[in-house]
Structure 1
């Protein structure tokens, strides 16, 4: 029983990271139907920038702020690069963002080299409860993810700007007719995605390390988690991330750690075959 609880704690913590990245995919796709393959790179870049900033002597809170704001700026630049494309299809967005993802990886490799590194752990003491070792960083990851998830969901459901973004996603033509800027909504969605990716990167770095290529795995697993939620639901993205993290942890603990990364591929195949719209996605009305 203790082993199961230990695996669940670890799985929920890594699943929370996947959930943040999955929300980044969701907020962009739900507005513009763009699948942003640079989302994982946002997380990797945030971790590396935060490590550099703390090494240079900045206090941890200030280093985290600089890191996240820098990633938000990069996310906005990615959107501006994509903006001139007039007929953006999902396939074209995959091809274009894949190229941008490769460019970001190359830049990180040149700036930081091939070695992975970790940010200093956030303040707090590890402890043991019921025989289960709980790291303070796990609590930071789970707690911050919970707060951010609630904040993003409230933003979309309770604020006028959030409702405008949802209008652009559900009825883009009608949104234009009432004066909502669809292009502005797309830019804002990339900014939010950059914020989510940056938070994921700095939270994960003390435990899972940051490297020039670490965004590949994070992006893939975040995409799988978002797919579980149908790529349009914030709550679905969070649930998908936690489910995927727990499945990975259980497989690594009870089967073989070598199969850990294969779980995401298996889940993706099952979802695409059994329910392409996402396991947690509700039936939706076609756009007009």
Structure 2
């Protein structure tokens, strides 16, 4: 079979590892969100889409619609927070919250409108993209999920589906139906013997590996990371020792949006991203998370890499069945989990 050709095999493997590295970031983010907040975050792929398409808009010298979404969410979150302070009798603090959010929104708007026509270097555009996409995570949590933090997993899942549909529609309005690519961060190729690989692929793998290492250090060596681990292990116990579930959720969604946006920019040069690409990309990361049982970070990352490799080889030999083969992976995993996992009621977790 062609798939075992000594020249094609490493090329397909490198392509699979490149996509799998991005899927691994999404899988880790999904595991983190579920462990800390019990939310099965369906719109994870939308952060990837907004990362790619926001950078593509900046490349064209256009102000991305992401800025409008960010400002609306910031205003909504500020109003909710101010209302909370007013109910507690701290009106002055509520007004201060509104003023601070207004100044922050004005600064973001001014910075974006000033930089976009200048078409700054790619590094500056990447930083601006992260500045616009990463805050979407905590703002989405504050406006959508924090009011529902005591709801059941089913209610949170329904909210996630609704949010996915809303973000997909907004992406269509902001960026249009056409697909977009972003420029590679590292153009050119590298030759290893008889195999030639793109520097962009190597960069994606390296950056993903460094991010995973950074997450490990964050969880093992920092107090916020240890607080998230404590919340993931026992939410009630973490609350009793003074760890705020809301603060843990905000930090978790910030990390998830950051990883999603960065993953979108990394995969942008190799995949033509459209407004509705997020669901399939997020689902592939979700398969990795399911392989890890939504609790194990190493297994989730390994499962996502496996998804990337299978997708790459299936694209070469059975392209018409590529998605079917990839998504069929979830069936034996779910069957195995259902047979080996003991169900616990939510109030016993």
Per the normalisation by structure 2, the TM-score is 0.77
* Contact 1:153 1:234 survives alignment (8 Å): no
Residue 206 of structure 1 pairs with residue 269 of structure 2 = yes
Query: Measured at CA, do residues 107 and 10 of structure 1 come closer, stay the same or move farther in structure 2, by a change above 3 Å?
Result: same
RMSD: 1.9
**Equivalent residue for 1:175?**
238
1:38-89 deviation digits (Å, cap 9, x = unpaired): 1000000010111111222132111111212222111112101211114332
Structure-1 separation of matches of 2:196 and 2:338: 38
Residue 12 of structure 1 pairs with residue 17 of structure 2 = yes
Structure-1 separation of matches of 2:130 and 2:193: 36
Structure-1 separation of matches of 2:13 and 2:319: 15
CA positional deviation for 1:277:
9.0
Query: Measured at CA, do residues 6 and 123 of structure 1 come closer, stay the same or move farther in structure 2, by a change above 3 Å?
Result: closer
**Equivalent residue for 1:52?**
57
Residue 70 of structure 1 pairs with residue 75 of structure 2 = no
**Equivalent residue for 1:138?**
201
Structure-1 separation of matches of 2:337 and 2:194: 39
Q: Which protein shows a greater Rg?
A: 2
Structure-1 separation of matches of 2:149 and 2:307: 35
CA positional deviation for 1:263:
2.5
Residue 246 of structure 1 pairs with residue 309 of structure 2 = yes
CA positional deviation for 1:172:
1.3
Q: Which runs of 5+ in 2 are unaligned?
A: 1-5, 62-118
**Equivalent residue for 2:94?**
none
Residue 237 of structure 1 pairs with residue 300 of structure 2 = yes
1:164-204 deviation digits (Å, cap 9, x = unpaired): 11111111111111111111101110111001101110001
CA positional deviation for 1:276:
4.4
Per the alignment, in what secondary structure is the counterpart of residue 22 of structure 1? helix
Deviates more, 1:1-10 or 1:229-238: 229-238
Q: Which runs of 5+ in 1 are unaligned?
A: none
